A and B are shown apart, each in its own frame.
Chain A
């Protein structure tokens, strides 16, 4: 990838604008008639095996001289009659993101399946107590789910656009894929800016509690509790959650900015800027999608009691003590723990059977 980008840059910055390529096209009839042989061995007279004008186009595309000419049309790269690097870019796209994206996503999926089979669901010592603590406000959960819904839509439509040609055309045919790709492109472009707005809402809602602090490194060194024995200390957000937050924010911003560059090609950005934006956008999106699969796993079937936090806004105090002991201490000190009955009343439900069992 780096090699290809270097070649892009070297082509862009070393080519002088001295040859009028466009004027060559005016000579096309003369050149083509000159290049057609009068007689060819093995074929009847009058039948040619050489494409007329091939020498001209070879000269336009493959010669060693600069390929930028002069045109009356003013704009980015309007002096280039044929950009041969387009083929290189197409090859790069097919050989890299299109090739590696499914591998990365499949690998993540496989790792999680293996992890679940070997480790199972991460439980809580003493099981769920039923006594709850408020973790997220309505607004924070709305922000989280808005971002999640928009991201999922963008991830699905983005993967259709990226991998549709090799994966979907063999399954559904070209006609259906062209329809699906058109719809995906429109939807993807429309929802992109909504993702950026949701991301900024996420940034401002959660940033204060995601600043790294003392003790986070210990969490990292112990692999979040998977390495060695003993409990790993954590605050309101532990090191893993903070890292996930900053991955979302930073890669999300990179994807959003590169996406805006791609979706608005009329602001003077050239081919190289567009190609770099494409690379950032695609690889950023693949990384974010891969890590988000891990996040979805850990937030649902991977860890007991986690999903409740983003569903109702409340989490079990035993879950807090298992994963966020420093915050649990604050909750006890500030008397923020409520009973199962109070929690059920706030949710408008009867006390949950599982919680009653845990309470017993």
Chain B
């Protein structure tokens, strides 16, 4: 019964919530009304947008020493998670059989282990910094903590089910994934889709005004 629920209706429901929620959020940003900028342009908005999208991958030299830990941990976590999500053999197989109808070459098992270790260490450090740094702690919301902990649990249940010998462990992982999919569109996890448009918007605004930021 539980197996049927997790593999069937709950999976489709969570997938629907995720897709509709993400599209809804993105549409609300795209169609949001903003005042027309009547000022004379001092620079290229397009150039500013492109510049900002890429320059923000590296921290500004003036603040780099203060945020070195979260930059390194941030890259460890995000690159590790990206590799796990799209190149872990079980995920490639799942996407091929259940969603896309085609697959690609997965990474070898040793690379999977290393990627997951990077992701785990990065996430632990990022969350600890959020908790231990007084400024980060003050600006963090409940949503930030739930998102971090839920992501950690999803990764952990996935790794605990690595042996693929127990249906219960696979179901536990899939259930936590479904919870994450339902939570995703209404949380800070939306930055997965919004960080590029957000940078582009700010960069265009700066570029039009001739601000070198």
Binding site for B on A (CB under 8 A): 138-139, 141-142, 145-146, 149-150, 178-179, 182-187, 190-191, 193-194, 197-198, 311-313, 346-348
CA of A348 to CA of B140 in the docked complex: distance in angstroms?
Answer: 13
Q: Known: A194-B117, A194-B120. Is A179-B168 also a contact (CB below 8 A)?
A: yes
Residue ID in chain A nearest B162 by CB atoms = A186
Question: What A residues does B160 contact at CB under 8 A?
Answer: 182-184, 186-187
| Distance, CA A147 to CA B129, complexed state (A) | 14
Q: How many residues of B contact A (CB 8 A)?
A: 26
Q: Which of A139, A145, A186 contacts B69 (CB 8 A)?
A: A139
Decide if A313 touches B132 in the complex (CB within 8 Å): yes
Q: Is B116 an interface residue (CB 8 A)?
A: yes
Further pairs besides A146-B128, A186-B163, A194-B120: 17, Cβ < 8 Å:
A138-B132, A139-B69, A141-B132, A149-B124, A150-B124, A178-B166, A179-B168, A183-B160, A184-B160, A186-B159, A186-B162, A190-B120, A311-B132, A346-B134, A347-B134, A348-B137, A348-B138
The 9 closest A-B pairs by CB, nearest first: A183-B160, A348-B138, A186-B162, A142-B128, A179-B166, A141-B132, A138-B133, A182-B163, A145-B128
Give every chain B residue within 8 A of A187 (Cβ-Cβ). Answer: 156, 159-160
Query: Taking the nearest CB of chain A, how far is it from the CB of B12, in angstroms?
Result: 27
A183 to B165, alpha carbons, bound, how many Å? Answer: 10
10 residue pairs from A and B, CB less than 8 Å apart: A138-B133, A142-B128, A145-B128, A146-B128, A182-B163, A182-B165, A183-B160, A190-B159, A191-B117, A348-B138
Binary interface profile of B, 122-155, with partner A (CB < 8 Å = 1, else 0)?
0011001100111101100000000000000000
Indicate if B5 sits at the interface (CB-CB under 8 A).
no
- How far in angstroms is the closest Cβ of chain A from B47? 37
A190 touches B113 (CB 8 A): yes
Contact of B132 among A142, A182, A194 (CB under 8 A): A142
- B139 and chain A: residue at smallest CB distance: A348
Q: Is B95 interfacial (CB 8 A cutoff)? A: no
Contacts of B128 in A (CB 8 A): 141-142, 145-146, 149
